[in-house]
Amino acid sequence: MQAHFEAIQGFGKDWYLRMNFYQLWEQLEGQTVEGFHVYQNMANVPDADIRKEYREEIAPYFQDMRSDSKTMLRWNLTVDQAKRIFGDENHFVQMVHRAARRVLPPSVLKNVWNYSQVEQVIGYWEQHPEGDPVQALHGQRQFFGTKGATDDGKHDKLSSFNHKVDVVEHENPVIYPLLLLHGGKYYHVTGHTRMTAAVVKKMILPVKVISV
């Protein structure tokens, strides 16, 4: 187990070990993974929602093709590299459909680039294994309460977070978060709020991964 874990964290030596690590975690679905339950009621993203997420989460980074600053902060890519990977809206839809489904343990999820709140909540549970979910939830409500409107401008981010917590609590369908994997590291594409809502409740959501 330790060899598998080190291989996936460092993405170093051996593809065979990495694939065995993923297969091992996927066999644990429905069980407890590092103290977290794997959420079962996952849903694929409808094409209309994929296009919406592209317009909100991807396309704005291509508005200034002369500057790499935003894409470097988001995915550690130049704007040209990001454009080649994600392509246009139609290409992105096909990428999401082809993305691999993965169950990543909390020790990997907390190191996803731009997963700040997921990292914070997992850190809380690591320090307080018998901690209070109400306290974990309160801290995130304070954070999202300062973030204003959602990307579509229709809701405030606190309401969106509270809704996702309610969805997880009632075990309703949750759309897969999407991650990008390049250079041996995972990067947030969509679904940060969803995953934060889940880990507050000591659950992890399976994800879809675009690998390049």
Which tens digit of pLDDT belongs to each residue from 19-70? 445 555 444 545 667 889 999 999 998 999 999 999 999 999 998 778 899 9
Name residue 178's beta-bridge partners: 190, 208
| Strand arrangement, sheet containing 36-38 | 32-33, 36-38, 203-204
- To the nearest 10°, report the CA torsion of 180, 56, 136, 198: -60
Number of neighbours of residue 107 by Cβ within 10 angstroms: 14
Q: What is each CA distance from 29 to 25, 35, 80, in whole angstroms?
A: 7, 13, 38
- pLDDT band per the 50, 70, 90 thresholds, residue 16: very low
Tokens of 33: 């993974």
DSSP state of 24: H
3/57 Cα distance (integer angstroms)? 35
Instruction: Output the pLDDT for position 176.
Output: 96
Least confident stretch, 14-23, 115-124, 183-192, 200-209: 14-23
- Chain centre to alpha carbon of residue 96: 14
The residues spanned by each domain of the chain are 31-211
Write out the H or E segment, with its range, that includes residue 165. Answer: helix 157-169
Element (H, E) at 36: strand 36-38
Please tell me which residue, 112 or 67, carries the higher pLDDT value. 112
Beta strand 178-182 pairing with 185-190: antiparallel
| Residue 85 in tokens | 């990977």
Whole-number pLDDT of residue 186: 97
Per-residue pLDDT tens digits for 92-103: 999 999 999 999
- DSSP SS3 for 181: strand
Phi, psi of 36 (to 5 degrees): -110, 140
The two tokens of residue 42 are: 């996952």
Between residues 205 and 25, which one has the greater pLDDT?
Answer: 205
Question: In this structure, what token pair is assigned to residue 189?
Answer: 């594409």
**What percentage of the chain has pLDDT greater than the value 70?**
81
Where residue 191 falls among pLDDT bands split at 50, 70, 90? very high
155-170 CB burial, b ≥16 within 10 A, e <16: eebbebbbebbebbee
